Amino acid sequence: MRDGYMEGYGFFYVALEDNHGHTKDVTPGVVAKWSTEWKEVNEEFEKKLLADDDLKIFSNKMFRVWDGNHRLQAWMPIIEQFHSHDINWHFCVEVVILDPRGDVPSVINALHEVNW
């Protein structure tokens, strides 16, 4: 614990699937909705994924936020309103990648323990 906060609280907990087991690919239609800055950051991210044999499976996949949505909801409107064209505000966050494998209750219980 540091300054009253548990280590790891700054992480987003993400998975490829949502709590119903659905996944979503990064398609040209999805990318077309992104700003130039998000596209640039995504290209860098994709290069990092493809350079690592263990991470290649995440290439061109959308990550679903399982925990950390409050931070996502708090910051995205600020970025979009005040920093939409500032590349310094378009960065990758630290994440823990979850693998629910259809066992949503166990993942939710584990996240509850992390947040308690």
Distance between CA atoms of 25 and 4, rounded to whole angstroms?
38
Secondary structure letter of residue 21 according to DSSP: S
**Between the CA of residue 77 and those of 13, 52, 70, 73, what are the distances in Å?**
20, 32, 12, 7
Rg (CA), the chain: 15
- Residue 1 in any domain: the answer is no
Query: What's the pLDDT tens digit per position in 19-73?
Result: 888 999 999 999 999 989 999 999 999 999 999 999 999 999 999 988 876 777 7
Give the count of domains, the chain. 1
- Residue 7 in any domain: the answer is no
- Residue 22 in any domain: the answer is yes
- Residue 3 in any domain: the answer is no
- Residue 38 in any domain: the answer is yes
Q: Determine contact, residues 26/73, Cβ cutoff 8 Å.
A: no
How high is the pLDDT of residue 4?
56
- Residue 90 in any domain: the answer is yes
Q: How confident is the model at residue 101 (pLDDT cuts 50, 70, 90)?
A: confident
Distance between CA atoms of 102 and 52, rounded to whole angstroms?
26
Among the residue ranges 2-11, 27-36, 42-51, 81-90, the one predicted with the least confidence is: 2-11
The mean predicted confidence, pLDDT, of the chain is 85
Q: Pick the residue with more confidence: 31 or 78?
A: 31
- Residue 72 in any domain: the answer is yes
Q: According to the per-residue pLDDT averaged within each range, which of 13-17, 46-50, 87-91 is highest? A: 46-50
pLDDT at 79 over 90: no
Distance between CA atoms of 9 and 12, rounded to whole angstroms?
8
State the residue range of the domain holding 74: 12-115
- Residue 98 in any domain: the answer is yes
Which residues are CB-neighbours of 84 under 8 A, at least 6 positions away? 35, 37
| β-pair partners for 13 | 67, 96
pLDDT at 114 over 80: no
**Between the CA of residue 18 and those of 50, 73, 80, what are the distances in Å?**
23, 17, 24
